[in-house]
Amino acid sequence: MSFGGQTPTIVVLREGTDQSQGRGQVLSNINACLAVQSTVKGTLGPYGGDLLLVDENGRQTITNDGATVMKLLDIVHPAARILTDIARSQDAEVGDGTTSVVVIAGEILREIKEHVEQGVSSQVIIKGLRRASTMAVNKIREIAVNTAEANQRDTLLKLAATAMSSKLIHRNADFFTKMVVDAVLTLDQEDINEGLIGVKKITGGALQDSLFVNGVAFKKTFSYAGFEQQPKSFTNPKIVCLNVELELKSEKDNAEVRVEQVSEYQAIVDAEWKIIYDKMEACFKTGASVVLSKLPIGDLATQYFADRNVFCAGRLASDDMERVCLATGAKVQSTCSDIREEHLGTCAVFEERQIGGERFNFFEGCPAAQTCTLVLRGGAEQFIAEVERSLHDAIMIVKRAIKNRSIVAGGGACEMEISAYLHGYADEKVPHKQQTIIKSFAKALEVIPRQLCDNAGFDSTDILNRLRVEHRKGNRWAGVDFVGQGVANNMEKFVWEPALVKINALQAATEAACLILSVDETIKNQESQQPQGPQRGLPPGAAQRALRGRGRGMPRR
């Protein structure tokens, strides 16, 4: 129905709602994602730099770990946030390659930006990208080398060393690769739960002072008077683990007990003491030399056990208690009245030792050891925290490599081989307009070796040309040689990565690019708009402002 030949304006959305749509919106989203890419691409590779991130509370984090950067960046642009979420999924799924996902996804968007500007439909581009991604993944599976028959430990050491090559600890890679592989091989190989690898951080000392404990180690718990009289070392001790409080408690608030005479009051007091003494005697009669509890063990119990040459520790953290039970075979008891022989655990050696400025309890030589502990040393807290992040990535790589024995060469070799394959395939077998999309995808993959060269200070144009020539000759594992500043066979140089990491990174990057391209309208409610957020039709220069707190060494203003 019309009024005077004019269609009436229908207001559906609340006044003040921001609507951005069309090609300009897609380009705005691409620019925001390129801003995220430019933030993290400098951290890629063995010579990548670190980022100093300062949060709103002034807490500093120095890292080049992609997952940590994505977590700490305060991003307000909704499309850029999609990219960071998909990148973090790579960390959850594989544990490494987060930076690669962001860099590849950003470069795919950069390459197809020209097609968007020329008016090519987003759906045509998405279809082409998905086709290219499928062919790339199939090619990786085809060229991957199976290491099932090789020495497993040697393969895992080389994979862990490659994962650490871009980390802060790469100078001590030999020391830490052995530690990481030993840690993962300690776990149950059917269900490798990396959460059972305890990590304890102690400031002071050198990196080489870090320890691998084939068992459990934890910081000395809160202790009462009489603790120093307890023995601090046992051989083949019996261990009892409790979830029981061995402490005299004051009455609850507003508690009331009415008594007629003093003897009745004394009977109540005696009953309280009898209860706790019965608990302590029950623990002692088990023959246990070490008593651990999640709940407090008070001064009375501490002195009682000290007089009988028994070690006790209360207020033990739940994760430490879980790992002690796994390692020693003990079972947590919620009562002291029925502790049997099969509920006790044991280990070869229990010892309390001084590590730096802290005292630690060590349970070593455990019979059922399906857990271990890494005690990390270093000069500053931020330094040790970055070491922990580096080891986490290496542990995840080793974990995936045990379950998936296929490997490829790193240093940009895999990406260059796929790029050369896709260029040839597009020229021969894709006659229509999807050819340019596949070629753009192939060109985008070259960003990995190019960025590796840029971060190392090499001539990226020269090395990329040499890599293209080598791959056209059929040298599929030719990649960037960081030692000789040129080109080398990275499979022979033992620069290895699990094929799963490459496959997952490509799939995640393609998924991120397709998702961002499919968004051609953004509706923001007035309440959810933030004054720092990007404006409609964001130009490339202004895209950088979509990141709050970005910048190396620059605190957020």
C-alpha 129/C-alpha 436 separation (Å) is 10
The first and second tokens of residue 506, run together, are 């490509």
Q: Is 174 a catalytic residue?
A: no
Q: Is 253 a catalytic residue?
A: no
CB 542 within 8 A of CB 34: no
Q: Which amino acid is at 62?
A: I
Q: Of how many residues is the chain composed?
A: 557
- Using DSSP, state whether 332 is helix, strand or coil: coil
C-alpha 320/C-alpha 55 separation (Å) is 30
C-alpha 99/C-alpha 40 separation (Å) is 7
C-alpha 550/C-alpha 546 separation (Å) is 9
Owner of token pair 């340019």: 436
Catalytic residue among 39, 43, 65, 155: 65
Q: Which amino acid is at 96?
A: D
Catalytic residue among 43, 61, 68, 99: 99
Owner of token pair 């580096």: 390
C-alpha 165/C-alpha 177 separation (Å) is 11
CB 188 within 8 A of CB 370: yes
Mention every residue, 6+ apart, whose C-beta is less than 8 A from residue 204.
356, 357, 377, 379
- Using DSSP, state whether 312 is helix, strand or coil: strand
Query: How many CB atoms are closer than 10 A to CB 486?
Result: 14
C-alpha 24/C-alpha 354 separation (Å) is 63
DSSP string, 405-452: -EEEETTTHHHHHHHHHHHHHHHHH--STHHHHHHHHHHHHTHHHHHH
DSSP 8-state symbol, 542: G
Catalytic residue among 39, 63, 68, 98: 98
Strand partners, 313: 292
Q: What dihedral angle (degrees, nearest 10) is formed by the CA atoms of 246, 251, 256, 257? A: 40
Q: Is 393 a catalytic residue?
A: yes
Catalytic residue among 328, 393, 436, 510: 393
Q: Is 65 a catalytic residue?
A: yes
CA-to-CA separations, 322 to 108, 290, 411, 458, in angstroms, rounded: 45, 16, 40, 49
Q: Angle at the Cα of 255 (from 250 to 259), degrees rounded to 5? A: 100
CB 372 within 8 A of CB 195: no
C-alpha 464/C-alpha 471 separation (Å) is 10
C-alpha 493/C-alpha 484 separation (Å) is 12
- Using DSSP, state whether 57 is helix, strand or coil: coil
Mention every residue, 6+ apart, whose C-beta is less than 8 A from residue 222.
296, 314, 315
- Active site amino acids: 65, 98-99, 393
